[in-house]
Amino acid sequence: MLKRASTLVRAMTMGAAAVLVLGLAAPATAAYPGAFHPTQSVGNRGSDVTALQYLLRGRGHATAVDGVFSAGTATAVKAFQQAKSLPADGIVGTKTWGALVVQVREGDKGDAVSALQTQLNAKLRLSLKVTGTFDAATKQAVSNFQSHARLGADGVAGPVTWENLLWHYAYPDMGAGLCDKDPDNNGTANWGTGATTAQLEAAARTFAATGQGKIPLGDIGFEHGGAINGHASHRAGMDVDIWPVRTDSAQCTAGRITWESPTYDRAATRQLVKAIRGAAPGHVKVIWFNDPVLIREGLTKALVNHSNHLHVRYCEKVHTSSSYTC
C-alpha cells in the first residue's frame, strides 16, 4: 500500500470511475471516456492480449494466440497499423483498438467472436467455451455485461461494449499459486487490469514451482477502481501488495512478517521478486520493499511502511497518469 497522494487521484476523477468506490456498479461509459484502455505492448500478458491476437488474426494478420505479447505479435500489430495508416509503433492504444474491434451479434462466427468470449470470461469470471460462434450463451453474457455496465442490454457487442470490456478489470486465478489475504478489511479487492492479473499469475506459477509455498496476495483494487481503505494508490488496477516469503514456506497460513523477522527468507523473497520482474519484462515500474540487501541489489526500493509487504507497481507504455507510465 502506498501511504502518499498520487497524481492518479486526480486522474481517476475522469469519467464515472470516481464514483465507483465500492465496485458495485460499472460506468455508463469507459472510465477514460473515448479511450480503449489499457495500452498493450511487448512484455504484456493476459486476456486483453489474447483478445488482441484474435482480432489481429481476424483481420488477416497472423500471430500466435497465447496471451503473450511477443515480438511476433508486435510485428502483426505494426502490419495492421500500417494497413490502417496509423503510426506503426507496435503499441496498441486508443486508435489501434478502435480500428481493431468488430461489432458482432448472435449468429456471427470468427476470431472476433473468440476475442469477445475471451473478454467475457476474464471480465465477468465466466467459463464460456471459446468457440468463435456467437451463440445464445454468448448473447446472454453480453447482455449481462451491458446491464452491469449500465449500457443498453441488446446483446450486440458494438464499440461501446468493447470499450467497457477492455477497460474492465479482471480477477486473478487463485489456483495459479496465490492465496488471498485481506489486511485492510477490503474484502475481495483483488481486481486488476488484464495485464496486471496475468503477469501476477505467471510470477506466482514460476515461484510455486520452486516448492516454497504460494504468494500471499493483499489488495490490488476494487472491480472498477476507486478509493480503497488503507491505500492512497491501488485505484488503477496496477498496484499489487504481496507478503514476503517465510523460511517455513507458511506465508499463506502463518502470520505476516517483516524483513527483520527471524522467519524471513531473503533468498526465497529474492526469487519471488525476480519472478515478478521476469513475468512482465519492461512492465514493472517499481517494487517497494524495505529489505536493505534487496535494495542494494537494485531489486526493490525503500518506502515508509513497506517493511512487511512488497508493493508491486506495474506500468504501460502509455497511461493517463505518469505514475503508471513505463
Q: What is the DSSP string of 192-218?
A: B-HHHHHHHHHHHHHHHTTTS-PEEE-
Question: All 3 cell numbers of residue 101?
Answer: 474491434
* Whether 198 contacts 69, CB under 8 Å: no
Q: What is the CA radius of gyration of the chain?
A: 20
State the pTM of this model: 0.88
User: Would you mind telling me the total number of residues written for the chain in this entry?
Assistant: 326
Q: What is the pLDDT of residue 37?
A: 72
The answer to whether the 27-167 and 174-324 domains have the same CATH topology is no
Extents of the domains making up the chain: 27-167, 174-324
CATH class of 27-167: mainly alpha
**Side chain identity at residue 5, one-letter code:** A
Q: How far is CA 301 from CA 51, 242, 289, in A?
A: 34, 15, 6
Q: What is the pLDDT of residue 18?
A: 32
* CATH of 174-324 among 3.30.1380.10, 3.40.50.620, 2.60.120.620, 3.40.50.1010: 3.30.1380.10
Q: What is the pLDDT of residue 34?
A: 52
Low-confidence ranges of the chain (pLDDT < 70): 1-35
Burial 180-193 (b: 16+ CB within 10 A, else e): ebeebebeebbbbb
CA distance 283 to 128: 29
